[in-house]
Amino acid sequence: MTGSHHEPRHGSDPELLALDRGIRAVRLSMLGLAATAIFQAVIAILGGSAALLADTIHNAADLFTAAPLWIAFVLSRREANRRFTYGYDRAEDIAGAVVLLFIVASAGLAAWESVQKLLHPQVPRYLGWGIAAGVAGVIGNELVAQYRIGVGREIGSTALVADGQHARVDGLTSLGVVAGLIGVSLGYGWADPVAGLAISALIVRIAWDVGHDVLGRLMDSIDPATVDHIEELAAQTAGVRGVHDIRARWTGHQVLAELHLDLDPDLTLAEAHTIGEAVRHTLLREVVQLRDVVIHVDPAGPAFHHLADHHSRPQEAHHPDSGSSGASGESSASPAKD
């Protein structure tokens, strides 16, 4: 088996530089969101706008949801050890789950405030200021969105990109606030709380999309195109007769992969290792965000494959109807962990 050669992280390490950029993006965007949310909150309280208050609550929640991602980036800088052998990059995925909980909570709170306004109508005051605050929310959130998405794509952080897309949708919901207040100014008093409910519905949609991505990461899902790309690159390497049992998963903003290579059974151990290393270096160079790959070398041929299948499915070999007692202590570990 051939694998990675772990080295201590240094300040010039590309992964550390990416983490530093992520931390800086989160910190600066939090300042921008804070300024926007404070301005909106003051106008929402003075003007009594349910829609603006709902939008402000969501923007404030977005401000706090950036904190777990910041912590995750800081934690990911720590080196792998005997307890956390894969490192701390999974903290970024956990932060995504925390973000999801905040989004769901903000949707419920915003809906509650809007329903209360429907049941106990109030005429918003300072409509001009309220509209101005809504416009500020659009501009502030879009600037934050562009910054987060840009940095996230550059460093390969799906979580940061998703957080930026969330900020962009926040800007769109601020447009709903503006529309509601304009409706009130035209004599449609119900427009403000209805716009607040519409915002709540948009937040629920955001929660659904974010939940799909977050839960997918926690379940080790990955784009099948990435697996196909890994297989294609490995199969094109000189000396490789076959590629199988490919596994890949995201951990934070990095990808970990495992695969088996079929090689000529007459090769020496050194020759097989050389081919495995050639595959490994090709994958690390060509597959975007691939941090590490573990390669298991198998001798090509049906006889060897039959032996590998026997060890990968011990439950069949030890079935009571087979008449074979087998090795009672044999585990059913997957081939990728040989």
DSSP 286-330: HSTTEEEEEEEEEE-SHHHHHHHHHHH-HHHHT-GGGT----TT-
User: Do residues 55 and 204 share a domain?
Assistant: yes
Q: Which of 187, 218, 249 is the last residue of a domain?
A: 218
Strand partners, 248: 257
Is residue 30 domain-shared with residue 179, that is, in the same domain?
yes
Length in residues, the chain: 338
Residues 41 and 174 in one domain: yes
Q: In this prediction, what percent of the chain has a pLDDT beyond 90?
A: 23
CB < 8 Å & 24+ apart, contacts of 266-272:
267/239, 271/239, 272/297
Cβ-proximal residues to 31 (8 Å cutoff; 6+ apart), any chain: none
Sign of torsion, CA 105 106 107 112? positive
Q: What is the pLDDT of residues 272-284, one digit of tens each?
A: 999 999 999 999 9
- Do the domain assignments include residue 326? no
pLDDT at residue 337, rounded to an integer: 39
In a domain, 291, yes or no: yes
The pLDDT score that the predictor gives to residue 308 is 55
pLDDT digits (tens, 9 = 90+) for 131-162: 877 888 888 888 988 998 888 878 877 778 77
Q: What string of H, E and C letters represents the secondary structure of 123-173?
A: CCCCHHHHHHHHHHHHHHHHHHHHHHHHHHHHHCCHHHHHHHHHHHHHHHH
Q: Which CATH number do you get for residue 64?
A: 1.20.1510.10
Whether residue 323 has pLDDT greater than 60: no
Does 137 or 52 have the greater pLDDT score? 137
Q: How far apart are CA 195 and CA 51, in angstroms?
A: 6
Asked whether the predicted pLDDT for residue 177 surpasses 90, the reply is: no
Residue 238 lies in a domain: yes
151 belongs to a structural domain: yes
Residues 307-311: what's their mean pLDDT?
55
The answer to whether position 9 is within a domain reads no
Are residue 43 and residue 139 in the same domain, yes or no? yes
Q: What is the pLDDT of residues 218-227, one digit of tens each?
A: 899 999 999 9
pLDDT reading at 315 higher than 70: no
The answer as to whether 200 is a domain residue is yes
**CATH number, domain with residue 308:** 3.30.70.1350
Paired tokens of 121: 């109508």
Do 42 and 90 share a domain, yes or no?
yes
Residues 194 and 296 placed together within one structural domain of the fold: no
With cut-offs at 50, 70 and 90, classify the pLDDT of residue 334: very low
Q: Which of 185-199, 233-247, 289-303, 312-326 has the highest mean pLDDT?
A: 233-247
Out of 58-62, 113-117, 188-192, 243-247, give the one with best mean pLDDT: 243-247
Residue 58 confidence class, pLDDT cut points 50, 70, 90: low
Same domain, 243 and 291: yes
Where a domain ends, among 165, 199, 218?
218
Please indicate, yes or no, whether residues 177 and 244 belong to a single structural domain of this protein.
no
Q: What percent of the chain has pLDDT over 70?
A: 80
- How many C-beta atoms lie closer than 10 Å to residue 337's C-beta? 11
Range of the domain at 253: 224-317+331-337
Identify whether 322 is part of a domain.
Answer: no
As a whole number, mean pLDDT of residues 41-48 equals 72
Q: Are residues 229 and 173 in the same domain?
A: no
What pLDDT shows up at residue 4? 52
Identify whether residues 92 and 229 lie together within a single domain.
no
Q: Does position 124 have pLDDT exceeding 70, yes or no?
A: no
Question: What's the pTM value of the predicted model, to 2 decimals?
Answer: 0.72
The least confident of 117-121, 166-170, 318-322 is 318-322
Is 87 in the same domain as 175? Answer: yes
Last residue of a domain, one of 158, 184, 218: 218
Maximum mean pLDDT: which of 165-174, 206-215, 242-251? 242-251
Q: Does the pLDDT of residue 55 top 70, yes or no?
A: no
pLDDT average, residue stretch 178-188: 78
Q: Considering its fold, how many domains does the chain have in total? A: 2
CA nearest 28: which of 161, 147, 160, 142? Answer: 147
Least trusted range by pLDDT, from 90-94, 110-114, 146-150, 286-290: 110-114
pLDDT reading at 330 higher than 80? no
- Is there a single domain that holds both residue 42 and residue 108? yes
β-pairing, 290-299 with 254-263?
A: parallel
Is 325 inside a domain boundary? no
Average the pLDDT over 66-90 and give the result.
87
Question: What is the rounded average pLDDT of the residues 36-46?
Answer: 77
